[in-house]
Structure 1
Amino acid sequence: MTRAIVLLSGGMDSLVTAACAVSECDEVCFLHFNYGQLTEKKELSSFEALVNYYQPIQAKVINYSWLSEIGGSALTDRNIPVQKGILSSSKIPVTYVPFRNAIFLCSAVAWAEVIQATRIYIGAVEEDSSGYPDCREVFFQAFNKVIATGTKGEIPIEISTPVLHKSKAEIVQLGIELKAPFELSWSCYTENDVACGVCESCLLRKKAFKTAGVEDPLPYRN
């Protein structure tokens, strides 16, 4: 029996990753993080809706409010503006949250040891995304080594990144194939009611659906 933990933010990429886990594993558990992000309320609402949709055997929410306390990201620090109207031209955008994926994965690994889960799914995208350093294949390869050397070793625990090398449009297409409920997901960086339509995440999502030839079920302010 394959048991997996899915890091589920409620965004498009993590939704399709969850759909992959559900199709590939016998049992899934969902893990969500509140960390003082601008859209914390909406992301949590999306997570709860997806828990209701997929009915995982367990679902947990972890609060990492100190990520907003240290700041350093436009997603958690109100003094750093979120870029709007353009896709980032810099290597690492202002929306990068310092070492976020490593922090989240540590929690998932700890839980995996307790519940005997052998896979940890994360919806990181390297090929057609924002250029975050903790969304690269080399990062996950290194983290798998950390898991192997830093856990009891009673069970093999590996990170699974099913959308890592897919374009955003390919992620949409895969989601359609897996009947992922895109209407329950949330991609906007700044709004908790109606998506702004102009932040980088909204722009990437809109472009993905357009390229895939699929109608995005979410409305946008712009």
Structure 2
Amino acid sequence: MITKNKKALCIMSGGMDSTLSAYMMKKIGYDIIAVHFNYAQRTQDKELSCFHAICDELGVLNRYVIDLDFFAQIGASALTDENIAVPTGGLEEGVPVTYVPFRNGIFLSIAAAIAEKEGAEAISIGVVEEDSSGYPDCRESYIKSMEQSINLGTKDETKIEIFMPLVHLKKSQIVQKAVELNTPLHLTWSCYKDEDKACGVCDSCRLRLNGFKLAGVKDPIEYQ
């Protein structure tokens, strides 16, 4: 049973998965603090505008927007390096070029600092293990190890649980759950490439579209 005024820091990208995770945290009684990361990704401006629109809908007043420009310097990902093309030919074998090196580890580390400062008992992250693009930092075992490290590296009185409510769901189940919770799917963005209309052919768009198709629900965003 969640007591009143327990706080959860929700990592929110503006995408469908992290948005649903935040709605699920609110449903079980947490007050939501939101954090968003600008990390020089191709659709940075669109994701930021989606984040704020979703927070408005969710009634989140306490928001953090963190700029991480070093990801562009590192490169090595199609999301942050303009010299690497975003794949559009279907899901790749192994870890795809859209993987951003240790992104979720960095996000969780910063989220832990904010959570400790805010006195939050929980962090939520919308990782999906089974139906994701094959990113190593979306695995349940990895997130659990980060939870342990965070609690070892913070004050003794700081006890933070990392929630990953979608980790074992398929995309179609995520769509169904989002509809059930009246999540504003029309405000979410998944495309890796474009900010005006979603491309429909990158890995993320393909996963999203297939999830809606299998769920028997129409995707409310525009595609090219």
TM-score (structure 1 length as normaliser): 0.97
2:162 is matched with 159
1:3 is matched with 7
Deviation at 1:210, TM superposition (A): 0.3
1:142 is matched with 145
Root-mean-square deviation (CA, aligned residues, Å) is: 0.9
- How far does the alpha carbon of each residue in 1:28-83 deviate from its partner, in whole angstroms, 9 at most, with x for none? 10100000000001000100101111111401100001111110100000111110
1:70 maps to a residue whose letter is I
Picking from 133, 138, 149, the partner of 2:136 is 133
Alignment of 1:178 with 2:181, yes or no, is yes
Conserved? CA contact 1:4–1:27, under 8 Å:
yes
Deviation at 1:25, TM superposition (A): 2.7
Picking from 19, 24, 27, the partner of 1:20 is 24
1:33 is matched with 37
Q: How many residues align?
A: 220
CA distance in 1, matches of 2:90, 2:70: 29
Picking from 195, 198, 201, the partner of 2:201 is 198
1:20 maps to a residue whose letter is M
Picking from 162, 169, 172, the partner of 1:169 is 172
CA distance in 2, matches of 1:165, 1:172: 14
1:59 maps to a residue whose letter is R
Alignment of 1:67 with 2:71, yes or no, is yes
2:102 is matched with 99
1:115 maps to a residue whose letter is E
Structure 1 unaligned blocks of 5 or more = none
Structure 2 unaligned blocks of 5 or more = none
CA distance in 1, matches of 2:70, 2:98: 16
